[in-house]
Chains A and B, each alone.
Chain A
Amino acid sequence: MAAKFEIQGLNAWFGLKHVLKNIDIKIEEEAVTAIIGPSGCGKTTFIRCLNRMHEITPGARVSGKVLFNGINIYGNGVDPVMIRRKIGMVFQKPNPFPMMSIYDNVAAGLKLNGVRDKKILDAVVKQSLELANLWDEVKDDLNKSGASLSGGQQQRLCIARALAVEPEVLLMDEPCSALDPIATAKIEALIRKLAENYTVVIVTHNMQQAARVSDYTAFLYLGELIEYGSTKQIFENPKHELTERYLTGEFG
């Protein structure tokens, strides 16, 4: 296994509030890493630092290194837009572009990058929807609005949209928290499939989801990385007292 990300001394602030404190962690390639921890521990901020989305928030600041394929994404001359294309994000609430068709939702990123060839667009839309396990359900309705789909379908549409620009990493911020158990199971199965070719980092407050889908689990508490290891080790035999207490429901 190779590290996709090597994060060294990562700190993040919102104004004066220090939300991530000296995080050192390596995130493995073609695997699912889950970030768990109580509300406000910095989980979401952490993944937003991995594709330079944190700095979009006014007053937000980052220090430290995030080496992505060995290159510091906070280094001079690195284009954040390029980074965000390589490192896609799926959010808590499905957010397809509401005025666009299913087709256009998936094609939006490519069109924005100047791709006009209908053949290429058709192929990428189909491939992305297939990869997101949505093609069979929408192939006859590609011109319908993305907003007409169910919540779970919308979330898979957002995943297809993220995949269309050929990222290497998918960051997922509570991707199932607005979904019912069946839609959740579909997304989880999809995450496992995607991990064959992509690096996935998922933030979840559902510990059982972390246990089900991830290969590695990181536990954050009050902005610090408390414990990081294989999901099997973390859930069967956590080494740190705080992890143990969080997992067994003593706090959080």
Chain B
Amino acid sequence: MDSGLEELSATLYRMGELAHRAVLTALLECLNGREAYNEILEMSDTLVAMADHVEDKAFELIARFQPVASDLRTIKSYMKIAYDFARFGRYALDISFVNKRLGGLKNCEEWINSYVRDMGEKALDMVRLSIESLKSHDTQLAEKISAKENEVDNMYFEFLDKLIGRDTTTKCTVSSVLVVRYLERIADHATYICESIIYIATGQKEVLR
């Protein structure tokens, strides 16, 4: 049982690193105009395969050891976290697709580019915080995500408000709306991970959103 859980957490750490790299690569691509779609596609596919592996392994542990108490909460949460990491990969790929299909934000108005960069940094910061919380199982650290999630949410709505006031639709406005939407979703999944960490430690289903 213990060695099974260790294997699961080791896989999750690797997933966390890969997911962070995928989001970072997608953002850099989008903001600086480098084409990396195939690279990110591979990362995203790998994350999905790893999430499947975590689920299979977790299922096997349940069948073989009938875990209870914190072991059971850990296994359930690890399955969810693996899915959250796979979502990071998927949103990275979505961002990359926007870049591929509509062109990135490199040549857009300066304020759009820097707004998305700011929001992207905050979202990446949340991804890192979720990974750190997972590694340390530190609930106080995990709770810190709540304020950050609020900030990203507010930025998302504020951005929409800014664009609503304009009467032209351009490649830039469409791409940037999609990208901030994906960033907002990434922030949500980072928050779910932190909620799972608190659930593992306390059994309480705390809502940090």
Contacts and interface: CB of A to CB of B under 8 A. Distances in A.
B66 A247 contact: no
A236 B68 CA distance: 6
B66 A248 contact: no
Interface stretch (A44-52, A79-87, A237-245): A237-245
A77 interface: no
B1 interface: yes
B99 to A, nearest CB: 44
B203 interface: yes
A237 B67 contact: no
Contacts of B63: none
Given A235-B68, A236-B68, A236-B203, A249 B1 contact: yes
A238 B1 CA distance: 19
A207 interface: yes
Given A248-B71, A249-B1, A237 B66 contact: no
B72 A235 contact: yes
Contacts of B70: 244, 248
Interface of A is mostly: helix
A244 B69 contact: yes
B72 A236 contact: yes
Contacts of B67: 248
Contacts of A244: 69-70
Nearest to A210: B68
Interface in B46-82: 66-73
A230 interface: no
- Interface residue tally on B, bucketed by range: 10 to 19
A28 to B, nearest CB: 21
Nearest to A212: B66
Nearest to B69: A247
Contacts of B1: 248-249
Interface string A199-240: 000000001100100000000000000000000000111100
A238 B68 CA distance: 9
B175 to A, nearest CB: 45
A123 B203 CA distance: 51
Contact of B66 (A208, A236, A238, A243): A208
Nearest to A233: B203
A156 B72 CA distance: 33
Interface in B68-120: 68-73
Q: Which of B68, B69, B72, B73 has the most CB of A within 10 A?
A: B68
A231 to B, nearest CB: 10
A237 to B, nearest CB: 3
A74 to B, nearest CB: 35
3 closest A-B pairs by beta carbon, nearest first, are: A237-B203, A235-B68, A247-B69
16 contacts: A211-B66, A211-B68, A235-B69, A235-B72, A236-B72, A236-B73, A236-B203, A237-B73, A237-B203, A243-B69, A244-B69, A244-B70, A247-B69, A248-B1, A248-B67, A248-B69
Interface of A: 207-208, 211, 235-238, 243-244, 247-249
